[in-house]
Structure 1
Amino acid sequence: MKDELYALTIDQEWAGKQIKEVLQKRLHMSRRVIRKLVAAQGVLVNGEPIWLSWRLAEGDHLRLILPAEESVDILPEPIPFQNVFEDEDVLVVEKRAGLIVHPTSGHWTGTLANGVVYDWQQRGIVARFRPVHRIDQWTSGLLVIAKNHHAHQLLSRQMMERTIDRAYTAIVNGVLERDEGLVVGPIGRNDDDFRVREVRADGQEASTEYRVTDRFAEGTQVDLKLHTGRTHQIRVHMKHLGHPLFGDAMYGTTDDQRWIERQALHAKLLGFVHPRSGEKMLFQSPLPEDMCRLVERLKGNSEERED
């Protein structure tokens, strides 16, 4: 099965240019994707395979075709997930708390990847599961998955250049005094437990912007924006401020099970430039029910104290 990346008619601007120039400068293709196209004889001009050095004429019809790829190492399973948006290049999903994004050692099944691959199989879609970013198992919210190599390459570049918009809502223990702030603190692994991260001088650069949206007697609701994408970044930085997330079993200092059964963190906003159309895409997700219940309980406790 073949996957058509692009089909376009050459206009006056690109007439006389080599195919390689069009691929690199107009379509922003990586060398790796170009090599795959050449190996698959997937560069066609007016229906015929052509060398990359071929100079195009106005009106030529250029098609770029790759063999479709599958995630053969991921077992298809009927794992439910919410499909927010999907086209030939990207899939945006809303991940529920508790669902791991991708199979890992000890978790080969029951992941979002297993569910997506199953769903694609049921609908006759041949694509490889390529998450552009990840969110923690016990964090809920929006996630974008690329459906082909070229889309993944362009979206990953946006991640590296920090032009993908990501915003979160969290509910933290205690009352933050400042209305907004920027937490700057390098993050590295804890010496005693490789799973745990902490702010430390020899860590990787990390910064998190926060803004208070509501205060309660025992907690604070905040919106957060990542300027970097370190593992557990929000959780580590809020603990560093002295206000760990409600329900955070790894970084919390209190038993919050009576409040919420997972860390109170939700990826509420996701924005990126579409890899094919160049259109700015923006998605938003409402606060999930368990975090809404936590807010209502905190509000109730605040009112009782005032009485």
Structure 2
Amino acid sequence: MDEAYYEPISHIVDERDAGQPLGTVLRRRLKCSRKLLSRLKLTERGITVNGQRRYTNERVAVGDRIEIRMPKERSEDILPQPMELDVLFEDADLMAVNKPAGLIVHPTHGHYVNTLANGVVHHWLERGETVRFRPVHRLDQHTSGVLLIAKTPYAHQQLSEQIQRKRVEKIYLALVHGHTPDRGTIDAPIDRNPEQPHIRMVRPDGYPSVTHYEAVRRLRGVTLLRVMLETGRTHQIRVHMKHIGHPLVGDPMYGQPEADRAAGAAMDRQALHAWRLGFRHPVSGEPMLLEAEMPPDMAGCIAALSAREETKEE
């Protein structure tokens, strides 16, 4: 394979698509977006049929081998930095890591090192891979758990589309104050607080936001929840749980420090962990389910609360 390109994505034309324009087949069978197709057209070997470059308005025949290729890229603006990574899965198309709490995902102004991106870029450099850092979704700095990274533009487009179509299962573990109902749905729009733009709040004119939850375990004064996101607004779980009167333990922005102290719940960050991510592989289409074990700080907090409860019962 040409060193300047990622592995080609291919499709063999059958009777269903015989006589159709190439562009139609690319959109229908390889799920290429118009934006991706525009990019492929500008690439020397971006779109080929039986090894020859072809225009998207040309028609295809049964047995034609269609291939798309994306030129390799690297994140030139991200400094490689050795870092211990908990890699849950990796192949030529995607990578999933268990992000620890406290680690920023991407460099920002004034914060160019000690981010997940620095460690991942170094990891790829050590493996001899030319890849650009493309996180598919976001996790707050102090939220731990599964983070998905696309390794090619095609994989990024496919995974992003799954998220937009709500075909990605996102399940979090959250420790909240009080005892919630066994299960529930919070359907409350979210937007910025006009007085404090870095903080989100429930507002009638906000963006549609839906969170589902179910109780996993109840302790004295707190509940461990399994939370499912239907939408993905910034700080959504934290804002929604505060809205219904059950803020997250340890949350410095939306929590209740006095409630943390009263419950004896010791956490240096919000007790929120991205536990499970379910999706289809962007190239093979195979179903995938990735899980990240609950981190020591959350597990330790639950163990301490459980021990305190047992002591009081004695």
- Amino acid paired to 1:93: V
Alignment match, 2:60: 56
User: Which residue of 201, 213, 216 corresponds with 1:213?
Assistant: 216
Is residue 2:140 matched to residue 1:112?
Answer: no
Runs of 4+ in 1 over 4 A off after TM superposition: 255-258
The corresponding residue for 2:89 is 85
Bigger shift: 189-198 or 260-269? 189-198
Q: Count matched residues.
A: 306
* TM-score, structure 1 as length reference: 0.94
Q: 1:280 aligns with which of 263, 274, 287?
A: 287
Within the candidate set 179, 183, 188, 1:180 is matched to 183
Give the SS at the match of 2:204. coil
Aligned residue identity for 1:285:
A
Contact 2:171-2:226 within 8 A present in 1 as well: yes
Q: Deviations over 1:72-102 (max 9, x none)?
A: 2222111322111112211111111111111
RMSD between aligned alpha carbons?
1.7
Cα-to-partner distance string for 1:1-40 (whole Å, 9 max, x where unaligned)? 1123313443344333332222111111012221222211
1:265 to 262, 272, 279: 272
Give the whole-Å Cα distance in 2 for the aligned partners of 1:145 and 1:193.
Answer: 31
3-state SS, counterpart of residue 107 of structure 1: coil
- Establish whether residue 236 from structure 1 lines up as the match of residue 243 from structure 2: no
Question: Does residue 22 of structure 2 align to residue 15 of structure 1?
Answer: no
Contact conserved, 1:77 with 1:117, CA < 8 A, in 2?
yes
Q: Verify: 1:293 aligned to 2:300, yes or no.
A: yes
Distance apart, 1:218 and its partner CA: 2.6
> Which whole-Å CA distance do the structure 2 matches of 1:222 and 1:4 have between them?
41
Where 2:69 maps in the other structure, the secondary structure is: strand
Match of 2:137 among 130, 133, 136: 133
- AA of the residue aligned to 2:177: N
Question: What is the Cα deviation at residue 297 of structure 1?
Answer: 0.8
Partner-residue secondary structure (3-state), 1:195: strand
Judged with a 3 Å threshold, the aligned counterparts in structure 2 of structure 1 residues 57 and 285 are, in CA distance, closer, same or farther, namely same
CA distance in 1, matches of 2:76, 2:214: 43
Deviates more, 1:51-60 or 1:112-121: 51-60
Q: 1:9/1:188 Cα in 2 relative to 1: closer, same or farther (>3 Å)?
A: closer
Is 1:3 aligned to residue 6 of structure 2? yes
What is the alpha-carbon distance in structure 2 between the residues aligned to residue 183 and residue 16 of structure 1? 49
The secondary structure found in structure 2 opposite 1:51 is coil
Output the CA distance in 2 between the equivalents of 1:48 and 1:201: 55
1:159 corresponds to 2:163: yes
- Please point out which of 120, 144, 148 is paired with 1:144: 148
Q: Quote the sequence identity (%).
A: 45
